[in-house]
Each structure stands twice: as structure tokens, then as C-alpha cells.
Structure 1
Amino acid sequence: MLDMRQVTKVYRTELVETHALRSLDLHVRDGEFVAVTGPSGSGKTTFLNIAGLLETFTGGEYKLDGEDVRGLSDDARSRLRNQKIGFIFQSFNLIPDLNLFDNCDVPLRYRRMPAAERKQRIEQALTQVGLGSRMKHYPAELSGGQQQRAAIARALAGTPRLLLADEPTGNLDSQMARGVMELLEEINAAGTTIIMVTHDPELAARAQRNVHIVDGMATDLTAEPSLIRAPTPMSSTMDHATDDAASAGAVDTTHA
């Protein structure tokens, strides 16, 4: 499903060169649930943005579902992202002026999908996450856990092959977090590949694999060397990436 080899990302300004990813190697099989952990500023956000085709990378090779994405045009990247990738964000990113049905409808409209098919997909997705009776509710009328479930439904309506979740429980209490995690496990059991960034070790332990990113390099804590190789550390004098720096260059195209 996802194959990264020697992927690097360097942010450059006139005065500063920041190395966000350093020869990162990672292979994720179709249908896996992978948790990505690591300290703030380690490169997790950069990795997720590149995996989701929100950012380009400086060097290396990245194949998504067998397709080499390096030479794709912006339009081709957008189409591939819209067709195969779903996003779940910590802050939900629901549009406050739209009800849940219309929030889920936004990304489907960009596919020029027939209205009847969109309606069927949205109703099915909202029912799957337990919000079938709240399709006409607005985000402000929901709890935090319900808003995150709505965001998951929005992603599911597009039937993604790959679901990328960036701290999906970060704004939730422990009970709501467990409910969201159980829902993600159900989605994964149905065949969707999931990569989840989290700071919660309890949630990370529930994934099939745990990949730890530090200083832009990845180590597979599940000890499967055939799937990921930790590169030789580079000089400590080189600049380290920050997730804030990565996020600053990323564009939220969930609705695009």
C-alpha cells in the first residue's frame, strides 16, 4: 500500500536549512494498522503530510498503492489523494456552517459523483459511526467525540484505501478516545489501511505495528526488519525539523 525508500525532506530559507526527514524507509502492507509515535519536532507531521500527498519530498522514492508519486503534477496528486486517501485531524476540521451531511458531501462533490451515490455513501458512513440520526445537526450541536466521529464519517464516505489520522483522540477525554479507537479498529478490520500518529502509548499499543520517529528517522518497534530499516544517524549538528515547521507548509485539502 505504502512504500517509502530513503525519503528525505529539507526545508530551506536564505539562512536556514532544516532536515525534517532523513533517509526514512517504511513499508506498510495493505490492511495494516500502524501507529506512529515520537517526540514533538521529530518529523511525524512531515511524514504524514508526505504520505497524504499534502507535501512533496526532497529526495528518495515514494510509491502509493504501487504508483510512483514523485513525478506527478499537482492536479494528478490531488486526484490520487481524493480517490485513495482519507484524513482525520485532531481538530476535526468540520465546516461550522454546514450540517453533518453537507460536511461529508464536500469532498465527494469534487469527484463529480452523482447525487444519489453521494447520498447513499454519506448515509452509510454516518450510520457506521453511530450518527445516522444526526445528519442534519451542526458541529456546534455535538460533543467532541461526536464531532470526531463525524470527521471519520467524512473520510469514510470517500471509501479510502488509506486512512491517515493525526492525533485523532488528542482533543478527547479518555472515554471518548477509547470509543474513537474502537471505531478505527472496526474500520481497519473491514480492510482499510490506517496510519495513526499519536502521543498516547496505550492507543499505540493497540495498533498492529508501532513505528517510532526521532530526528526524522524511523524505527519499527515491532522488530520487523524486513519492513523498515533504521538508517545510520547523521551528524547531531544538523538542524532538526519541527512539526510546526512542517505544518506551516501544509495545506489542508481534505475538502479539496
Structure 2
Amino acid sequence: MARKPRVRARSGVYHVLMQGVRHRDIYIDDEDYRTFVEILERLQTAKDGEERYFTVYAYCLLPDHFHLMLKEETDTVSVTMGRIAAAYAHYFNDKYDRDGAIYRARFASEPVENEERWNTVLRHISQAPERMKVWDAEHYPYSSWHEYAGEESELPRICEIPANYQQMSREDMVRMLSTPVPRQAACIGPLTDEMRRPKDDQVLAILYDMTKTTSMIEFLGLTRAEQLKTLADLRKKGASIRQLEKLTGIGRGVIQNL
């Protein structure tokens, strides 16, 4: 089936999203999240600082996908996303001694053409951790929430915040960012079947059923090959790397490379 042509934004502003390939996390630890933000910071402008390639307005990095709201400057959105994806994939593959694609497919995008849509997309991105049941949105460390709310963070400040937002008090900003996004707003999001992750007790029930064991001690008594095959199958069923590491004690580096 032919790909649908990308809808062009007259404003040059886009909400974009990329997912990890085959349910895999693209951020494993704090260093990975920070490195991605530093890549965004570095790639926005030329080395001499005179030419701006793109502008980041908002972001949120979830374990297996990320959201950006950005504006085309001298580069198109496709060139921009190609640069970002290639730079981070190079870092990730080198760090974890792997090769090949780390993203599911080409990025998804939607145009952001007016102030009303801008507000909606900003809230949609800011609330992503809560929507995906990862963390409460206000205290999630890997999003641009802290930049808009004027809070301290260990991450670089990389967003261009429009003047009308800069004039808002912190209380008004938090209230705005927290306002629920209507269902009919229909912002892009990750494929739902990839993000419908089982809870810990469901993962354990599946694990025990697959291996005919009754406890984690019994599971860890299986051969290494049997353990790894089971973990690989659980990844395909939606269990996350962090979840499996926590439940089994097997290192995330091992699980990541299954």
C-alpha cells in the first residue's frame, strides 16, 4: 500500500512522533534521555550559531517513543527528523553494541496551523506521561513541562517559548498545561496496540504459564536459553525492558538485545 503524502504545514510548525521498532524502548537510562535532549539542542543551529535549522517548541520523551513540536527554519521537517533520528541511533547503537534500525518506521506528523491548535498540541505533549501511565505529567523529568513552568531541571533548556506563555504566572501555566485535551482534538499518538502494556501481575502470570513454573525462583532455575526465549516472547506481548528487569533481576542490557 502506498504511503499517504505528508500534510504540509503553512505555518511550518509540526507535531511529530517516532516510535521504537518492535515495541523496543529507545531510552534505557537517564543518560539516554539527556543525550537525546542535547542532540536537539546541538542540531537546532549551525556551529557558528548564525543559521537556524529548526526550532523546538515542546517535547516529551517516553520509553519507546517521543513527541516534538517544532518549526521548520532552513531545513524541512523531513530533513530535521532525519538528522535527529540518525544522530540518536548512532549514539544508541554504539552505546549498546548493536546495529540496525531503532525506530518503527518514518515519523508521524500533523500540522499546527493556529493558536488554538498550538495550545491543544502543547497540552497533548505535556500530558503524555500521564496518558501512557508512565508518570504524573507535572513531575515527569523528560519533557518540556519544566521549561514552561519555569522550574529547575538537570536537562538543557532547549525550547523557544512564545511571548504569550512567558507572560503567564506559574499557577496559570500549570493550570493550562493540566487542562484535559478533548477526545475530539484527535492529536497523533503511538499505535495503541504497541502501548497497551500488561501490568506486573499480568506479566508474571504469562511468564509462569509459558514456562510451567510457579515462582521466580523456579523461573531463574531454568537454563539461560529458556529464560531469554521467554523474555523475548514477553517483549513481543508488550512487557517493557524496565518491567522485565524489575521482575526478574536480569540486566536491562541483556533484555534490550533480545
The structure having more radius of gyration, on CA atoms, is: 2
Q: TM class by shorter-chain length?
A: under 0.3
| Greater RCO (Cα-Cα under 8 Å, separation 6 or more) | 1
* Normalised TM-score (structure 1): 0.26
Q: Which structure has greater helix proportion?
A: 2
* Normalised TM-score (structure 2): 0.26
Q: Which structure has greater strand proportion?
A: 1
